[in-house]
Amino acid sequence: MTKTKKLLLIGAGEFADIAYEYFTHDSDYEVVGFAVEQEFLQEEEKFGLPVVSLEEAEATFAPDEIEAHVAVTSTKLNQVREKLVALAKGKGFRLANFVSPHAFVWRTAKLGENVFIFENNVVQHGVSIGDGVVLWSGNHVGHQTKIGDFAFISSHVVISGYCDIGRRSFVGVNASFADNVTVGADSFVALGAVVNKNYPDPGQILSGHYAEPSKVSAYRYFKVKA
C-alpha cells in the first residue's frame, strides 16, 4: 500500500506493537516513531525507529507534518488513553484512525478521532463511535447504537440496535446487549455477560446471564477516581 501520510504512535507496549503492524501493513500511514511519557521511557529505539518522551515529542516530530495515534489499551478503566489523547491534542497533533480494510463500516456510521477498528467488525447504519474507541476483532455493532468516547470493546461482542454504551466503558469478550439497552459511563461488562435492561448509573460492574450489578463499583475495583 502506498504511504502518503506519516504517523507517530503514542505508547510502547503490546498495543503499540500491534498498532505498528496494522498501520504499517494495512494503511497508507508510515510509522516514523514512538512516544511515551518520560517516566515510562525505557528504550531509545523500537523496530528501528526512535522512541522519545511525549513531553518533548513535538521537537522531533512536527505536528503540522505528522499525525499521531494513542495506542494504549484499557489501563485504569480507559482513563490513561483519554489522558494521552488530550496531551497529544494539546501539542497540536491531529489524531489518526485505523479502520481495518477487513472490517465492514457502513457509510452512515460516524467515527470520532483516534479510533481503532480491528478486522471482522460489523458497524451498521447510523452507528456513532466516539473519540478514542477501540473495537477489537469480530464485533457486531447494531444500527443507531452509540459508543461513548474511550470505550473499549473486546472481541465477539454483540451490541444490538439503539444501544448506548457509556464513556470509558469496558466490554468483555462474548458479552451481548439486547436492543435499546443503556449502560452508564465507566461500566465494566464482564465476559459473557448478557445485558437485557438499562443500567444507566456510572461505574457499575455487570456480570452474568442475565447481567446484574456487583456490590463493588468499577471505580473501587480499578482504584480510579470517578
Half-sphere exposure of residue 210: CA atoms within 13 angstroms, side-chain side = 8
Q: Are residues 144 and 109 in the same domain?
A: yes
97-113 residue pLDDT tens: 999 999 999 999 999 99
Same domain, 116 and 185: yes
pTM of the shown model:
0.97
As a whole number, the mean pLDDT across the chain is 97
End-to-end CA separation in angstroms for the chain: 43
Q: Which of 201, 187, 127 is nearest to 159 (CA)?
A: 127
Query: Going by DSSP bridges, is the β-strand pair 45-46/49-53 parallel, antiparallel, or unpaired?
Result: antiparallel
* Residue 198 sits in the same domain as residue 102: yes
CATH code at 140? 2.160.10.10
CA-CA distance, 190 to 64, in Å (whole number)? 41
**Final residue of a structural domain among 48, 63, 90:** 90
What number of other Cβ atoms are within 10 A of residue 72's Cβ? Answer: 26
Cβ atoms of 82 and 99 closer than 8 Å: no
Same domain, 58 and 170: no
CATH, residue 70: 3.40.50.20
Query: Number of structural domains, the chain?
Result: 2
Same domain, 214 and 139: yes
Q: Are residues 51 and 145 in the same domain?
A: no
Question: Between the CA of residue 135 and those of 55, 102, 171, 174, 201, what are the distances in Å?
Answer: 28, 13, 10, 13, 23
Q: Give the lowest-confidence range in 1-5, 16-20, 22-26, 62-66.
A: 1-5
Asked if 159 and 177 touch (Cβ cutoff 8 Å), the reply is yes
For residues 111 and 218, membership in a common domain is answered with yes
Q: Provide the domain limits for residue 40.
A: 5-90
Does 37 share its domain with 122? Answer: no
pLDDT at 176 (0 to 100)? 98
Same domain, 135 and 205: yes
Query: Given the C-alpha cell 477498528, which residue does it identify?
Result: 117
Domain's final residue, options 90, 106, 128: 90
pLDDT-derived band at 1 (thresholds 50, 70, 90) equals confident
pLDDT at 12 over 90: no
**Three-state SS for 21?**
helix
Q: Is there a single domain that holds both residue 75 and residue 146?
A: no
d(CA 50, CA 226): 35
Sign of the torsion formed by the C-alpha atoms of 19, 23, 25 and 27: positive
The answer on pLDDT for 219 being more than 90 is yes
Q: Are residues 84 and 184 in the same domain?
A: no
Which alpha helices (H) appear in 93-222, and where do they start and end? Answer: 218-222
Does one domain contain both 65 and 146?
no
23: phi then psi, degrees, rounded to nearest 5: -65, -35
C-alpha cell read off for 41:
521511557
Write out pLDDT tens, residues 28-51.
999 999 999 999 999 999 999 999
Q: Any residues with CB less than 8 A from the CB of 68 and at least 6 apart, and which? A: 7, 8, 9, 10, 35, 57, 61, 88, 93, 94, 95, 96
pLDDT, mean of residues 187-197: 98
The three-state secondary structure class of 177 is: strand
Residue where one domain finishes, among candidates 90, 124, 146: 90
